[in-house]
Chains A and B, each alone.
Chain A
Amino acid sequence: MPEPRGELDTWLNGRVEPLLPPPGTFERVSRRARRLRARRALVAAAGALAVAAIAAVAVPQLVIPAPGTGRPASATGGLPSAAAGPQHPATAVAGSTPAPATAGPPVPAVTPAPPALSVTFVGAATGWVMGQSLPAGQCDQPAAPACIVLRRTDSGGATWRTVRAPPAHGPNGPTGVSQVRFLTRSDGWAFGPQLWATHNAGRTWTQIATGGLRVTALEARGRRVFAVWARCAGTGAGFASHCTSFTVYSSPAGSDAWAPVLSPVAAAGPAGGAASLLLTGTTAYLLTPAGSLFAGPLTGASLQPIQQATGAAGKLPAPPCPSGSPQPDGQPSGALLAGGPPPGLDLLCTGQSAGGRQRKIIYASSDGGQTWQRTGQAPAAGTASFLSASPSGALVLATSLGIEVSTDGGATWLAAGGTMPPGGFAYAGMTTDAQGVAVPAAPTQHSVWLTYDGGRTWQPSSAGG
């Protein structure tokens, strides 16, 4: 039997035979090094600009989301727009194979409005912020260099570092990206309107072919990711406008095996509408532009129309309002859907916005959307942009003026205190019953707002990288 020590030492002391380089190796290595330096210089330049753009986003002690849900608390926003008029009922369109967007009647150009920051967290410490490294109006040009910037924190927002982003520009009609979501530290997606995925913490990004359809919403929970793929003709930053059909695709989170889980649903009318995607408990919901609600399990099985129960006294047999036209980030402006404690759902139906005021009626469903009941009315001041529910069911409403909070299902509301940004908020969401994050609507506000007292007061995070 050989002596162990001798075998190890023999191996360690074995002579290293030099291996001469093949001819031209140094020249090849030098060329590759030059290219690598050039890439690094480009990234460094983009990073420096990104610091100016988004380094102010610091989220100290942010806890998002509630442990165990697997759902990242994601925030994204855009300038809130006026409520939509009524929509026609939706009709199912046969077939599920995505087709390129067809050229329809000329669509009016949308005034460029750079998207607000997009934020996603997968736990107490780790989160990402997506921004742009070029000034407003430049990053969304098709000829612009890859100018999407992603910064990551692993310290709850105390420090941020630039990580690799998908090589894309800002949203412009059918191209570009505007939002980010991560489900885990590894699996993430950039979307709106194009779709990119990473499964190695952003080291590499792969563009997902969507057959010309635009991804207007995306959420991930459990082990799967769901996204709304829409056929739209909106131009410029209004990538999610003038959509004529919507469908839902899903994929296991760890792969790019996207498959339809809902046949395309038409949005009648030339202005189209917006569809809302919500994942709660074990269920995925889609609220169509016409107000139809579909639901399916998070396993990837097909979404089916909610079987409407016969309206009991005081209860409505269907969601009482259409989802309306899209906000710049693709979210509906007319019907804001939020998930309370399962199977509870909350819905804010908005009216036309005039003179800075808007009718805002709250409905709730305790049976997964089969029946709805009016539960209250939010203050008329301001235009609503996003509704969310805390784990225990408190409602948080982001508006163009600030944030309203209700702890009794919408019957009464309390205006949140603190320093509010001009233009209000595009997003406000509660991670826990106490903690939450909000994103200002104005792209010029490069900060996020935080609450640690259940939404009663909000303050901007301190600046810093």
Chain B
Amino acid sequence: MEKFRTTDRAAAEELFNACYPRLAGWVRRLVDDDDTAHEIAAEAFTRLLARWSSLDNPQSYLYMIATNLVRDHWRRAGRERRALRAVSAATHGDPVFHPSQDVDVRALIQSLPDRLRQPFLLHYYAGFGVREVAAMLGRPEGTVKADLHQARSRLRAALGDSDA
């Protein structure tokens, strides 16, 4: 088994200290729950450190993992929410929602297809440039730009519809 060298450990700890707070905060805005945010951020770092020596751009990899973990969390939460809603509807009538601006936009982002959601989150939310996002996703820059444009258009249209 490959050993985790001391120099690697120091570099990894440095990256952890530098990136964890922002990554966890980024995740928290997407999941709205501190515990889940820590869980996802820690898991992303675990996977990063597990293949530390083979990565050219650890930070990109970190956010890619986190994006996928957030997506998985949304899917699970969506299933639980639907199940809960079904029970609530059967016993208490319509469920009570507490809308907030964050949740409304987030719900719309969740509804984007993977193809659009990934570049959207990485670019607009995690702060990666178009070129970096293109490299992370293995897509041409032009495609990423078009996807970003399409995602924004969809979200704006949806927000407009919801306000109408």
A positions within 8 Å CB-CB of B: 1-2, 4-5, 7-8, 10-12, 14, 16-22, 25-26, 28-30, 32-34, 36-38, 40-41
CB neighbors of A among B1-55 (8 A): 1-2, 4, 9, 12-13, 16-17, 20-22, 24-29, 34, 37-38, 41-42, 45-52
Question: In this complex, what residue of A is CB-closest to B109?
Answer: A11
Q: How far is the CA of A33 from the CA of B45 in the complex (A)?
A: 8
Q: Please, which residues of chain A bring their CB within 8 A of the CB of B42?
A: 21, 25, 28-29, 32
Cβ 8 A contact of B156, one of A8, A33, A41: A8
Q: Please, which residues of chain A bring their CB within 8 A of the CB of B145?
A: none
If the complex has contacts A7-B101, A25-B20, are A38 and B1 also in contact, measured as CB distance less than 8 A? yes
Q: How far is the CA of A140 from the CA of B74 in the complex (A)?
A: 42
Q: Decide: B46 and A37 in contact? CB cutoff 8 A.
A: no
B positions within 8 Å CB-CB of A: 1-2, 4, 9, 12-13, 16-17, 20-22, 24-29, 34, 37-38, 41-42, 45-52, 101-102, 105, 124-125, 152, 155-157, 159-160, 163-164
Q: How far is the CA of A40 from the CA of B50 in the complex (A)?
A: 9
Q: Name the residue in A1, A12, A14 with the highest tally of chain B Cβ atoms < 10 Å from its Cβ.
A: A12
Q: How far is the CA of A307 from the CA of B2 in the complex (A)?
A: 65
Q: How far is the CA of A332 from the CA of B85 in the complex (A)?
A: 53
If the complex has contacts A7-B159, A8-B152, A21-B21, are A37 and B1 also in contact, measured as CB distance less than 8 A? yes
Query: How many residue pairs bridge A and B at CB < 8 Å?
Result: 97
Q: Please, which residues of chain B bring their CB within 8 A of the CB of A4?
A: 156-157, 159-160, 163
What's the nearest-Cβ distance from chain B to residue A48, in Å?
A: 14
Q: Decide: A32 and B46 in contact? CB cutoff 8 A.
A: yes
Q: Can you list 27 contacts pairing A with B, beta carbon distance less than 8 Å?
A: A4-B163, A8-B155, A14-B29, A17-B28, A18-B22, A18-B24, A19-B24, A19-B25, A19-B34, A19-B41, A20-B24, A21-B20, A21-B24, A22-B38, A26-B17, A29-B42, A29-B46, A32-B42, A33-B4, A33-B52, A36-B47, A36-B50, A37-B1, A37-B51, A38-B1, A40-B50, A41-B1
Q: Please, which residues of chain B bring their CB within 8 A of the CB of A7?
A: 101, 105, 159
Question: In this complex, what residue of B is CB-closest to A20?
Answer: B21
If the complex has contacts A11-B101, A29-B49, are A2 and B163 also in contact, measured as CB distance less than 8 A? yes
Q: How far is the CA of A26 from the CA of B155 in the complex (A)?
A: 37
Q: How far is the CA of A14 from the CA of B20 in the complex (A)?
A: 19
Cβ 8 A contact of A5, one of B9, B29, B38, B156: B156
Q: Please, which residues of chain A bring their CB within 8 A of the CB of B159?
A: 4, 7-8
If the complex has contacts A21-B38, A37-B2, are A30 and B12 also in contact, measured as CB distance less than 8 A? yes
Q: How far is the CA of A25 from the CA of B25 in the complex (A)?
A: 15
What's the nearest-Cβ distance from chain B to residue A303, in Å?
A: 36
Q: How far is the CA of A394 from the CA of B34 in the complex (A)?
A: 65
Q: Please, which residues of chain A bring their CB within 8 A of the CB of B45?
A: 26, 29, 33
What's the nearest-Cβ distance from chain A to residue B105, in Å?
A: 4
Q: Decide: B21 and A18 in contact? CB cutoff 8 A.
A: yes
Cβ 8 A contact of A12, one of B49, B52, B125, B160: B125
Q: Name the residue in B9, B28, B159 with the highest tally of chain A Cβ atoms < 10 Å from its Cβ.
A: B159
Q: Please, which residues of chain B bring their CB within 8 A of the CB of A11?
A: 101-102, 105
What's the nearest-Cβ distance from chain A to residue B15, in Å?
A: 10
What's the nearest-Cβ distance from chain A to residue B36, in Å?
A: 11
What's the nearest-Cβ distance from chain B to residue A3, in Å?
A: 9
If the complex has contacts A1-B163, A36-B50, are A17 and B25 also in contact, measured as CB distance less than 8 A? yes
Q: Please, which residues of chain A bring their CB within 8 A of the CB of B38?
A: 19, 21-22, 25
4 additional A-B pairs beyond A4-B159, A33-B47, beta carbons within 8 Å, are: A18-B24, A30-B49, A33-B4, A37-B4
Give the top 7 A-B pairs by smallest Cβ distance, nearest first: A18-B21, A33-B49, A19-B24, A36-B50, A4-B159, A11-B105, A4-B160
Cβ 8 A contact of B16, one of A14, A29, A32: A29
Q: How far is the CA of A5 from the CA of B158 in the complex (A)?
A: 11
Q: Please, which residues of chain B bring their CB within 8 A of the CB of A22?
A: 38
Q: How far is the CA of A32 from the CA of B48 in the complex (A)?
A: 11
